[in-house]
Structure 1
């Protein structure tokens, strides 16, 4: 595994969209840091009230240790914060895993983590205010974003001037206690594979995700073929990303569906990042739009750790008689 891309993989595993972390300990071959962010905003919609909202705040701890023979172990725990309401749900688990990386032998991870499928499907899931919904809303047990109890492996091959080829594999065992359209569901073994080719700032991705879902007499195989492409670095000049997923039983209640996400962003030298994104989910079997929306957004880095953001999301309508609901928010994010 190329050292540069190994470093990128470890950094992404540690920090995700987090910009910074405070290193509390660095002695010999061991490091320990704390990170996360507090994010709040004032938001509302046509169908809802204007109120103070939290925007995916979190806190995490991260550690690394050189374990010899070119291998580095790392561990991460991350918890979502519910600081507006508190109570028993003040902290809920987002991530928790142990990983081992080697420059040539790749990286293996065990625990709750960002999945190989998300490596390609999440390339448009970047703006603070409004981003990807279909990966989270009802596909959580299928590991399309954060994947619980997963074993994964990633590696890459540097082709020098011809670019870099990377791949990822993921497995989750049988899971019970989940719900599907409000009913108790059981998910059998789930597997996924992800492929990436990168050259000159362009990335091309393919991922396949599959597993059986059982709800009473309902027993079907959920599967997804995902294609995506991106160019540039989000927050540094021009960034473009497109995600296209062809699904069977991935979206709850839909036998066949197509999900689309697109993002166009441009960051000015003044640290102002402007973007427009589009997302939709179609019931492909019945030719119905489940939802479609577009958002205009802006983010401004006052400092590397303090970001202001705002966005307005237009509801572009649907074919299932759900009322349209434009949304807006303006807020701030402080990175720990």
Structure 2
């Protein structure tokens, strides 16, 4: 791959599908992207109101370092524009990366973790998607991992497919709000794809001391496997996720689940007229207590009026739990405008 194609590949990996390029000269590019997303939402047990749906603003830059190396940087902030709060911007992503076609890619900062490339394959619909991976995801490194150093490389085998190998590391830290203390955390991820199918595995581990000083340290550990077929938003897309978690999730009372399982499935089909229909399912189970913490299923639709403007709607069925919490079905109707 030549330098120009490599730079384009870095941009595709680190920016929105829709972005405005502001600069491209002498091996350096700079673009701004993001989206503003609002929706009406309501539920059986709650009032109807207006909500923001993960709005964000980001910038992406690349620079050709020579000898096949390309550096890139990304900053992304969540937008708070509905309630007039003091924190108009909060950090979602912020990192520097270096990529080489032969040597792979190194990234330092707050980034999508290698674990997410496996666990997040069903986290696609706008209205209702994955929840279990976002519980303390910044510290545990299951979603947007904070203070992470990662490395990844893709091996291509022609018609036999391609294999992605990645690893991530987070150092010691203390959460400023919960005061939980996190030891060194490490993870690996394997992604193999061929003929439209993918098979994926990730392992995530590290010790955490929850609560006050002197509380017993626990190993928070996850094995997750997933599989996909197709590409979301283009014809048929099917994804399934199964995670075996130890001290990674909490029950409805906030108690840590020592031995838990999480399940996620997504079936989506995008028509030629840009209408994308989907059905998903998610549940978390406390295996020791033999209790379902929550289980939900949603039917959803997304329609691209233009490349930049998307309408979406969804209805999520609460399939119940084993904690006597009342079922609460939810709905959402909104629009997303890509900057």
TM range (shorter): over 0.9
2:58 corresponds, among 53, 57, 60, to: 60
| Distance in 1, Cα, partners of 2:143 & 2:42 | 26
TM-score by length of 2: 0.94
| Distance in 2, Cα, partners of 1:2 & 1:198 | 23
Uncovered stretches (5+) of structure 1, i.e. residues with no partner:
none
Distance verdict in 2 for CA 1:117–1:127, change over 3 Å: same
2:305 corresponds, among 292, 302, 307, to: 302
1:170 paired with 2:173, answer: no
1:193 corresponds, among 188, 194, 201, to: 188
| Distance in 2, Cα, partners of 1:29 & 1:111 | 23
1:184 paired with 2:179, answer: yes
Residue 2 of structure 1 contacts residue 104 of structure 1 at CA under 8 Å; is this kept in 2? no
1:292 paired with 2:295, answer: yes
| Distance in 2, Cα, partners of 1:234 & 1:69 | 35
Which structure 2 residues correspond to residues 260-299 of structure 1 after superposition, within 5 A? 260-299=263-302
| Distance in 1, Cα, partners of 2:310 & 2:84 | 24
Residue 6 of structure 1: CA displacement? 6.8
1:323 paired with 2:326, answer: yes
Which structure 2 residues correspond to residues 75-224 of structure 1 after superposition, within 5 A? 75-177=73-175, 184-215=179-210, 216-224=214-222
| Distance in 2, Cα, partners of 1:239 & 1:231 | 6
Q: Which residue number corresponds to residue 14 of structure 1?
A: 14
Residue 324 of structure 1: CA displacement? 1.2
Superimposed CA distance per residue, residues 48-86 of structure 1 (whole angstroms, 9 cap, x where no aligned partner): 110111100000001000000000000000000010013
Residue 10 of structure 1: CA displacement? 2.9
1:45 corresponds, among 38, 43, 68, to: 43
Distance verdict in 2 for CA 1:120–1:231, change over 3 Å: same
Question: Per the alignment, in what secondary structure is the counterpart of residue 61 of structure 1?
Answer: strand
Q: Which residue number corresponds to residue 259 of structure 2?
A: 256
Distance verdict in 2 for CA 1:309–1:212, change over 3 Å: same
For the aligned residues, what is the CA RMSD? 1.8
Uncovered stretches (5+) of structure 2, i.e. residues with no partner:
251-255
Residue 46 of structure 1 contacts residue 326 of structure 1 at CA under 8 Å; is this kept in 2? yes
1:314 paired with 2:317, answer: yes
| Distance in 2, Cα, partners of 1:53 & 1:9 | 34
Alignment: residue pair count: 331
TM-score by length of 1: 0.95
Q: Which has the higher strand share?
A: 1
Residue 141 of structure 1 contacts residue 178 of structure 1 at CA under 8 Å; is this kept in 2? no
Distance verdict in 2 for CA 1:9–1:285, change over 3 Å: farther
Distance verdict in 2 for CA 1:12–1:126, change over 3 Å: farther
